[in-house]
Amino acid sequence: MLKRKLSTRSMIALGILASSALIAPAVLAVQIYGTQDTGDKVLIRYHRSDWVKIQPKQSGTLAWNCPSNAYTVGGGFETRAEQGNSSSGFSMIHSFPSSEHQWTVRFRNTDDIARDVRVYNICAD
């Protein structure tokens, strides 16, 4: 499969969709965008990891892969405190594409209670 460039317009629309997508297991949403240079269709899928518990005062690194036939075009993370903890003691260190198929997040839980974290990877077929 050849890599394809997404147009700026597609990436802006993708960001808007990613920020407003309903959350469901496995693939969160599917959108198809034409590229400006070839007119070919690009299938965009939103994937997310399961929740991972990060203990108090601990750092962690999480990564999530696209399927082997897809490429990472964006990503991010979500965090939530355990029930009853309204503190926001969470520091993002890095959030970046670590390969053409993977999104990686590095963070530190500065709370006195565990927090849950999950990674999102936006993949283009």
26-64 pLDDT, tens digit each: 444 444 444 555 566 778 888 888 989 989 899 999 999
Burial classification of residue 46, based on how many CB atoms lie within 10 Å of its CB (0-12 exposed, 13-18 middle, 19 or more buried): buried
Name the residue range of residue 92's domain.
8-124
Residue 33 lies in a domain: yes
Q: For position 12, what pLDDT does the model report?
A: 34
Residue 68 lies in a domain: yes
Residue 12 lies in a domain: yes
Counted domains in the chain: 1
Residue 3 lies in a domain: no
Residue 1 lies in a domain: no
Residue 96 lies in a domain: yes
Instruction: Return the closest-CA partner of residue 102 out of 122, 77, 80.
Output: 122
| Band of residue 85 on the pLDDT scale cut at 50, 70, 90 | low
Spell out the residues 6+ positions from residue 11 whose beta carbon is closer than 8 angstroms to its own.
Answer: 73, 74
Residue 29 lies in a domain: yes
